[in-house]
Chain A
Amino acid sequence: MTIKTVDILFRRSIFVLYFLIFSLAWLAPVTQHVNGYPAGENLYSLFSPVCHQYPTRSFWIFDRPWALCARCSSAYLGLALASFIPFAAFSYARRALFGIGLIILVAIDPLLQLFGFYESTNLLRFITGLIGGFGAFLLIYPIPFKQKERHL
């Protein structure tokens, strides 16, 4: 098994896992709309430990909020999409540093809101979440992005 194979497997696993989480977030209200209450409640409960699920800070579909807030949904989407991007060959340290930088940048929006400077919007939450997802991918991805064929 070459590093390239491991790389592809790792990227695909990340994409499947995080895109599944993102999809389940909007499937909860869709399921509830189609099948009626209490359908979809299990999905809301599933995500309650990882997200505050404040309805006014979430996207709505069929008059129901998603099971994850706008920022969390886009962060998972960002993680899934980042697995496709062929980054330049940076060392893990540089990549992780860049990832931390992105996450810090993203943290500014919720912190400013927390301290009452302004009320963020769902669009801004979505954009910052997406950037944060990319940052998180850079942080968790252990394999060099570009390399020669090498056997493990």
Chain B
Amino acid sequence: MRYHLPVIILLFFIVTFGFSQDTIKLSTSTVVVVKSTTSLSSKKLKTGQELVLIVAADVVVKGKTVVKAGTPVVCVVESAESAGMVGQAGKLTISVQSTTAVDGSTIALSGNFYTKGESKTGTSIAAGVILCPLALLCKGEEGDIAAGAQSRALTLGEHEIVIPEK
């Protein structure tokens, strides 16, 4: 009987503090590093197509991880223009949309990946006029984003993230 009180007090502390959850405020414009996992090309992608990239590094606020590295990031191809004739370069813009916090809530993001291939318009026209008109069919370079390329995305709005204590 005499051991009951300490045990009850111990249980009280475990229940109160052991399983408590921290709430962290993720403020607006917090940097989230987004990384591509595969190479992306303006030749293969279409405008409006949805892509999944990943978070490159943990997002830590007040010593707590609110978004883990490797979490999928939803992105949309904002514009994809393939390289064209007369040396026209390809362009690719990918807009970063959202990711998921450790508590499962969706975090809206703002950011983009942009790339433009090398234009060969001058060379194509010069060669087409001087040497052979077929040179006008020469295409510019595609807009490519290499695998592992990173970009800075910022959070939109404030979010309350619930972090379960271990």
Query: What residues of chain A have their CB less than 8 Å away from a CB belonging to chain B?
Result: 32, 36-37, 44, 52-57, 63-65
Partner of A56 from B28, B30, B57, B154 at Cβ < 8 Å: B57
Question: Which B-chain residue is minimally distant from A60 (CB atoms)?
Answer: B31
Size of interface on B: residues with Cβ below 8 Å to A: 12
When the two chains form their complex, are residues A53 and B57 in contact, meaning their CB atoms are under 8 A apart? no
**A65 and B33 alpha carbons, distance in the complex (Å):** 10
Select one of B31, B56, B149, B150 contacting A64, CB under 8 A. B31
Once the chains bind, are A56 and B33 in contact (CB under 8 Å)?
Answer: yes
Residues of A within 8 A of B46 (CB): none
6 other A-B residue contacts (CB within 8 Å) besides A55-B33, A65-B31: A36-B29, A37-B29, A52-B149, A56-B33, A56-B150, A65-B152
Taking CB as reference atom, which chain A residue is nearest B148? Answer: A54
- Structural contact, A54 and B57, CB atoms closer than 8 A: no
| Least Cβ–Cβ distance between A99 and chain B, in angstroms | 28
Instruction: Indicate if the CB atoms of B29 and A55 lie closer than 8 Å.
Output: no
Contact indicator A54/B31 (Cβ below 8 Å): no
Q: Which residues of B contact A65 (CB under 8 A)?
A: 31, 33, 152
